[in-house]
Amino acid sequence: MKIRIEKAACVGNARCAAVSAELFPLDEDGYIAVEEIDVPGGEEKLARRGARACPERIITIVEDDD
């Protein structure tokens, strides 16, 4: 699973990071710091919760092709 983020559309609510600061790292200004994240095994539930927490809906979950 991967997380894709429209970084330029982030407004800094940080709700994703409140769910998991490790999966959704913020920069020094409080905006998402990355555009794509490989989700470690076992962290899928947190990834989905973080994506749902974003009020701008700029976080997309990309499932693996297994």
Domain ranges across the chain: 2-62
Predicted pLDDT of residue 66: 60
Query: What is the pTM (predicted TM-score) of this model?
Result: 0.89
pLDDT at 51: 97
Q: What was the pLDDT predicted at 56? A: 96
Q: For the residues of 2-61, what is the DSSP string, one character each? A: EEEE-GGG--S--HHHHH-TTTS-B-TTSSB--SEEEPPTT-HHHHHHHHHH-TT--EEE
What is the spatial distance between Cα 57 and Cα 17, in angstroms, rounded to a whole number? 14
CATH number corresponding to 2-62: 3.30.70.20
* pLDDT per residue of the chain (66 residues) written in tens, 0 to 9: 999 999 999 999 999 999 999 999 999 999 999 999 999 999 999 999 999 999 999 999 999 876
